[in-house]
Amino acid sequence: MLLYASVGISELEIPTKQSLVIYISNCQHKCKNCHTPYLHDSFGDSLKDNFQTIFNIYYNYFDVVCFMGEGKESIKEKDEMIKYCKFIHDNKKQVALYCGRDCYIESWMKCFDYVKIGSYQEEKGPIVKKTSNQKLFKKENNKYKDITYMFWK
């Protein structure tokens, strides 16, 4: 079950878009000097119980729902996110995943319009730095295009 710590509107996560950011707790990655270490603990409210209410309250203020993290990444949690993706698309919004792993875009992630991958590596810097290892991909015609450069303008 996914737990969320907080939510908020931000223009920083997806370039040119307003995001409804949902901060998922229980992050397992433990990147050195993580900018949000409070998310390492398992705490917060059930996202399943509150998602629709949050979505409706903020509906007029965002383009994209951005899940910040994947919880502890169990199969059940992936299935839960896939259900949110369907709901979000059915309601004419887009959806993004900020994944903190050094991985490729996995098949279960293909319901997302945007996927950010990569751990936080302090020496390489965050995604807004050209030296960063992190990348943001946008789905276009069922393929993912690297749009990380949009953070550098």
Judged by the rule CB under 6 A, the positions of this chain that interact with ligand SF4 are 27, 29-31, 34-36, 39, 69, 100, 119-120
Distance CA(133)–CA(64), nearest Å, equals: 23
106 with 126: CB under 8 angstroms?
Answer: no
* Residue number with CB closer to ligand SF4 (86 or 129): 129
Return the C-alpha torsion angle 83, 115, 10, 58, nearest 10.
-20
Query: What is the smallest separation between the CB atom of 75 and ligand SF4, expressed in angstroms?
Result: 20
Residue nearest to ligand SF4 (CB): 100
Query: What is the smallest separation between the CB atom of 136 and ligand SF4, expressed in angstroms?
Result: 14
Query: What is the smallest separation between the CB atom of 143 and ligand SF4, expressed in angstroms?
Result: 25
Helix (H, G, I), strand (E, B) or coil at 61: helix
Distance CA(104)–CA(5), nearest Å, equals: 26
What is the distance of C-alpha 20 from the center of its chain?
A: 10
Query: What is the smallest separation between the CB atom of 81 and ligand SF4, expressed in angstroms?
Result: 16
* Residue number with CB closer to ligand SF4 (34 or 87): 34
Look up tokens 């994947």; give the residue: 70
* Residue number with CB closer to ligand SF4 (85 or 117): 117
* Residue number with CB closer to ligand SF4 (85 or 100): 100
Reference 112, options 150, 68, 71, 148; nearest CA is 68
Query: What is the smallest separation between the CB atom of 103 and ligand SF4, expressed in angstroms?
Result: 12
